[in-house]
Structure 1
Amino acid sequence: MSSQLTLALAGTIRHDGDGGVTDDLADVPGLARWLSEQAEPLRRHDDDLAPPTDLPDEQTRLDVVALRRAVRTLLARAVAPAPPSRADRSSLLTPADAVRHLNDAAGALPTSPRLQWPDDAAPTLTRHSPPAQPRTRLTAALARAAADFLTGPDRERLRACPAPRCVRYFLQDHARQQWCKPSCGNRARVARHYQRHQTER
């Protein structure tokens, strides 16, 4: 699903458990690990994508990180008027620049419809793209997944987790869900309790 891949990319910026933020894509081995974890969702967006072990190099990492910044900018815009993730408050692109970056990445790998009609089966329509550098295929797949998500129905359920220290975006499963996971809810309640007691002193 497009939402799974897009939120996984955005989620490579996460809290480190000590009040700070960590970047899972800070180096090439980190990108390699993430690509391995996302191999199946990526394959759903591009069957011809090279195996993850063939992809990572520093330029690929820089391209994916730049695309992630555009994606997180657009996720921040999608949750408005609610505040964006704490990690994004000072690092966002302008929405126009983010859209341009996403469109450029998605459009770097042109696709065309291809009709297939075997003698003994019904016709099918597939999408074909010409050979391209693995880096181009990867960023195009990620950009197209983000575009699909941002224009699809799941966007309405997108939220930025308001729990202390959390910097994740998530899809709200039901109207009363406020946090991305129960541990964030617990942390928010503890923080509120502490703040109340400090105020009463």
Structure 2
Amino acid sequence: MDDDPLALRLASTIRARRGGLTDAFATVDGLTAWVRGQDLSPYLDTATFTADERIRVSTVALRQAVRALFAEAVSPHPPSPADSGALPPLPEALALVNSAAAPMHRRLVWSDAPEQHLEVHGDRLAAALANAAVDFFAGPGLPQVRVCPAPRCVLYFVKRHPRQEWCSVACGNRARAARHYHRDRQRGGSDAAEWS
């Protein structure tokens, strides 16, 4: 998961656990911890980043916009069941991502050697995440985006090889176990009907 594109890691901050859905951005501390685990240079020094409630709310909105883009990417297949009813419509999602990506200015400075300087006017975190989304969705990997069909999984993933069906080995094992359990129950039900 660490080698997944940043846009996919952002979308994957909503996960399914035994007790239901978890949201890494449910608290300011959760968002801070997640950001500190990312490389968002040159936009943001994540080691010193601390979220506040305003940043958390705006980041959740941006994440939902990115999840709406993932839902569109897998269409006509159904989107992740985690939040498909709570996603913004595509035009609204695009507008949010584009406005968050826009306020940056790159320039080249030459003193002893050429250096890139990045000026971000506005929310640096939003700019980093939105630009990662633009790069991903406009890039070559988009046709390989899938929604994991494993029971209770709510993740999107990039299909890395032709036989990959699930986002992870654990989801593949869970799906196979569920199929086996379902087959055994069907056999048991038909055997019981024959004996009655």
Q: Tell me the TM-score normalized by structure 1.
A: 0.84
- The AA in structure 2 aligned to 1:7 is L
Alignment correspondent of 1:110: 104
Alignment correspondent of 1:16: 17
CA distance in 2, matches of 1:142, 1:2: 16
Q: What do residues 92-135 of structure 1 show as CA deviations (whole Å, max 9, x unaligned)?
A: 2111110011111112x2314x234457x6xx5846325x45xx
Superposed, 1:166-181 pairs within 5 Å as 166-181=153-168
Unmatched runs of 5 consecutive residues or more in structure 2:
190-196
1:56 aligns with 2:57: no
Alignment correspondent of 1:31: 31
Contact in 1 for aligned 2:24/2:30 (Cα 8 Å): yes
CA distance in 2, matches of 1:51, 1:117: 26
Alignment correspondent of 1:128: 118
Distance 1:100 1:82, change over 3 A: same
1:98 aligns with 2:93: yes
Unmatched runs of 5 consecutive residues or more in structure 1:
none
CA distance in 2, matches of 1:198, 1:2: 39
Alignment correspondent of 2:148: 161
RCO (CA 8 Å, sep 6+): is it higher in 1 or 2? 1
Q: Does the residue aligned with 1:128 lie in a helix, a strand or coil?
A: strand
CA distance in 2, matches of 1:91, 1:198: 35
- The AA in structure 1 aligned to 2:25 is L
Alignment correspondent of 1:69: 64
**RMSD (Å) for aligned C-alpha atoms:** 2.2
Q: Does the residue aligned with 1:22 lie in a helix, a strand or coil?
A: strand
Aligned to 1:139, which of 122, 126, 144?
A: 126
CA distance in 1, matches of 2:117, 2:144: 29
Contact in 2 for aligned 1:2/1:146 (Cα 8 Å): no
Distance 1:103 1:180, change over 3 A: same
Greater Rg by CA: 2
Q: Tell me the TM-score normalized by structure 2.
A: 0.86
